[in-house]
A and B are shown apart, each in its own frame.
Chain A
Amino acid sequence: MTSITSQKTGARRPSHAPLPDGSRKRGGRPWGLPWIMPAFVFVVGLLYYCIIETGYLSTLDWDGTSPTPTSVGLGNYSEILQDPIFWKAIWHTVVFFVVTFTVQTAIGFVFAALLHSKVKLGAVYKVLVFTPVVLAPATMAPVFRQMFAADGQLNWALDHIGLGFLAQPWLAQSSTAMPVIMFITVWQFTGLTFVLYFAAMGQIDPETLEAARTDGASNLRVLVSIVWPGVRGTTVALAMLGVIGALKTFDVPYLVTIGGPNYSTEFLGTYIYRISIPSAHVGYGAALSILLLILALIGAIAVAARANRKDGESSV
Chain B
Amino acid sequence: MFEARRPSTRLLLQLLVTLMIIPYLFPLVVMIQGSLAGKGLGNYEAVFAVGTVGTFFRNSVIVSVSTILIVYVLTMFAAFGFSKLHIRGKEVYFWMILAALTLPEVVLLTPLFATTLSIGVYDTYWAVVLPLAALQIPFAVLLARKFIDGVPDSLFDAARVDGASVFTAFRYIVVPMTRPIAAAIVVLTLIGSWNDYLLPLVLIQDPAKQTITLLPQFFVSQFSNDQTKVLASAVITAIPEIVAYLCLQRLFERGLAAGALK
Contact = CB atoms under 8 A, between A and B. Distances in A.
Instruction: Determine whether A and B are in direct contact in the complex, meaning some CB atoms lie less than 8 angstroms apart.
Output: yes
A118 interface: yes
Nearest to A142: B227
A87 to B, nearest CB: 19
A16 B111 CA distance: 38
A47 B216 CA distance: 29
Interface stretch (A68-76, A89-97, A169-177, A244-252): A244-252
Interface stretch (B39-47, B55-63, B233-241): B233-241
B69 interface: no
B230 to A, nearest CB: 6
B256 A204 contact: yes
Contacts of B146: 233-234, 236-237
Interface of A: 8, 15-19, 21, 24, 27-36, 38-40, 42-44, 46-51, 53-54, 64, 107, 110-120, 123, 125-136, 138-140, 142-144, 146-147, 153, 157, 183, 187, 190, 192, 195-196, 198-206, 209, 213, 219, 222-223, 227, 230, 233-234, 236-237, 240-241, 244, 247-248, 250, 269, 272-273, 276-277, 285-286, 289, 292-293, 296-297, 300-301
A272 B107 contact: yes
B166 interface: yes
Contacts of A119: 13-14, 17
Q: Which 3 A-B pairs have CB atoms at the shortest separation, nearest pair first?
A: A32-B85, A35-B81, A233-B146
12 contacts: A19-B160, A36-B77, A44-B97, A126-B249, A132-B27, A195-B184, A198-B253, A223-B1, A276-B106, A289-B107, A292-B103, A297-B98
Nearest to A231: B150
Contacts of B88: 8
B183 A199 contact: yes
Contacts of A135: 31, 234, 238
Interface in B161-188: 163-167, 169, 180-181, 183-184, 187-188
Contacts of B159: 19
Contacts of A144: 27
A273 B104 contact: yes
Contacts of A213: 3
Contacts of B99: 51, 293, 296-297
B208 interface: no
B2 interface: yes
Given A32-B86, A39-B77, A272-B106, A132 B230 contact: no
Range, interface on chain B:
35 or more
Interface of B: 1-4, 10, 13-14, 16-17, 20-21, 23-28, 30-31, 34, 70, 73-75, 77-78, 80-82, 84-88, 90, 93, 95-104, 106-108, 110-112, 114-115, 130-131, 133-135, 137-139, 141-143, 146-147, 149-151, 153, 156, 159-160, 163-167, 169, 180-181, 183-184, 187-188, 191, 194-195, 197, 213, 216, 225, 227, 230-231, 233-234, 237-238, 241-242, 245-246, 249, 252-257
Contacts of B180: 198-200, 202-203
A183 B142 CA distance: 26
Contact of B184 (A118, A136, A199): A199
Given A32-B85, A120-B14, 6 more contacts: A18-B163, A44-B100, A200-B181, A201-B1, A272-B106, A289-B103
Contacts of B104: 248, 250, 269, 272-273, 289, 292
B134 to A, nearest CB: 4
Contacts of B21: 125, 128-129
B180 to A, nearest CB: 4
Contact of B103 (A8, A54, A227, A300): A54
Contacts, number: 316
Contacts of A269: 104
Given A29-B85, A36-B87, A139 B230 contact: yes
Given A47-B100, A143-B30, A18 B160 contact: yes
A143 B27 contact: yes
Contacts of B141: 39
Given A19-B159, A29-B85, A36-B82, A136 B213 contact: yes
Contact of A117 (B1, B107, B131, B238): B1
A42 B246 contact: no
B221 to A, nearest CB: 15
A7 to B, nearest CB: 11
A241 B20 CA distance: 24
A38 B78 CA distance: 8
